[in-house]
Amino acid sequence: MTTRHALLLVLATASFTACAQAPDAGRVEQMRSELHKRFGAADANVDGRLTRDEARGKMPWVYRNFDAIDSAHAGSVTMNQIEAYAATQQRNGRQK
């Protein structure tokens, strides 16, 4: 994945979090749809979870923050865990 794609992912994640607080439900749904699309492209075995290896190629932000997102050390993360972690990072002003 190129640096441009990685930046787009981080911006999409940050935008989703910001939009979740805005009243424009259409924009929130658009951002959520984009995140789910990227997650689906990364989920090679289509099990609804990303391993560290799956994240490495398609979702570098998730790969870099994998241990923090996978706080239960399950070896994989779900879209809900990624969204929750991104929202926490956004609230804390520490989008990595």
User: Does some domain include residue 96?
Assistant: no
Domain range for residue 87?
Answer: 3-91
Q: To the nearest whole percent, how much of the chain has pLDDT over 90?
A: 48
pLDDT of residue 18: 52
Number of domains in the chain: 1
**Confidence at residue 66, expressed as pLDDT on a 0 to 100 scale:** 97
- 35-50 pLDDT tens trace: 899 999 999 999 999 9
Which CATH number is 75's domain given? 1.10.238
CB < 8 Å & 24+ apart, contacts of 77-83: 77/49, 77/50, 78/48, 78/49, 78/50, 79/35, 79/36, 79/39, 79/48, 82/13, 82/35, 82/39, 82/50, 83/16, 83/35
Q: What is the pLDDT of residue 10?
A: 55
Query: What pTM does this model have?
Result: 0.67
> How high is the pLDDT of residue 70?
97
